[in-house]
Amino acid sequence: MRPDAEARAARLNDRYRHHAAMAVLSHALTDPEVGPLALVSSFGTESVVLLHMVAVLDRRLPVLFLDTGMLFADTLAYQLEVTERLRLEDVRVIRPDRAALLERDADGLLHQAQPDACCVLRKVEPLARALKGFDGWITGRKRFQGGARAALEFFEADGEGRIKVNPLAHWRPEDVAEYMAENRLPRHPLAARGYRSVGCVPCTTRTAPGEGVRAGRWRGLDKTECGIHLVDGRVVRGMPA
């Protein structure tokens, strides 16, 4: 990782503040201030937009897919379909450490008692390992998703060393729908069944009309993020190195 992520993110935002999403992504892949990047994708209900943009610019870009072991079968099938359709050349399936699972969640019920700890075990720690060697990562987060995402910038400091890139930060729901329609991109199978945001099976429910995009995630809990955008339990501009 390179130092001074805050300063580099500020310079990048000044440089590309008025650019469109595709231009921001293109510059992120080539600007020496950013460095080597990976796209982190959940292959969720809106993920195909950013995956398609990456396929247009560079199919060889590493794509990190977190398979927690608790994903919907539909998501796993969709990941394979999209990877093949877009001809992505370097999709890396990232899984939790087997020994850690046996030690800390042998019965697979950690999510019931300690949902944050479950996310750390199944998402945060595997992603931290997978990101070693990269100077930054690309996310599909958007301001309209609300909560801590409402003030997203294109570039953020990820801890002290990495840069986080959010090319779709300023997009609206209609922008997502229009892009998918124009490019005839396949939809996640669960989208037609009322799921607007999809994570692990035990922690995802359908979203009712009028609810926020992520209202179906961890319903009934004081929890809005899986943890990869948290450090020490706080929402920050990044995640642990």
Which stretches of 136-190 are assigned E, i.e. beta strand?
136-138, 155-158, 162-165
Q: Catalytic one among 118, 200, 203, 226?
A: 226
Q: Among candidates 216, 200, 187, 181, which has minimal Cα distance to 73? A: 200
Distance CA 54, CA 185 (A): 14
Distance CA 238, CA 75 (A): 25
Helix (H, G, I), strand (E, B) or coil at 216: coil
**Residue 118 designated active-site:** no
Q: Among candidates 33, 32, 26, which has minimal Cα distance to 10? A: 33
Q: Do 125 and 96 touch, CB atoms closer than 8 A?
A: yes
Q: Within 13 Å, how many C-alpha atoms sit on residue 42's CB side?
A: 19
- Alpha helices (H) along the chain: 5-16, 21-30, 47-57, 73-86, 98-104, 110-113, 115-119, 125-130, 173-182
**Catalytic residue annotation:** 226
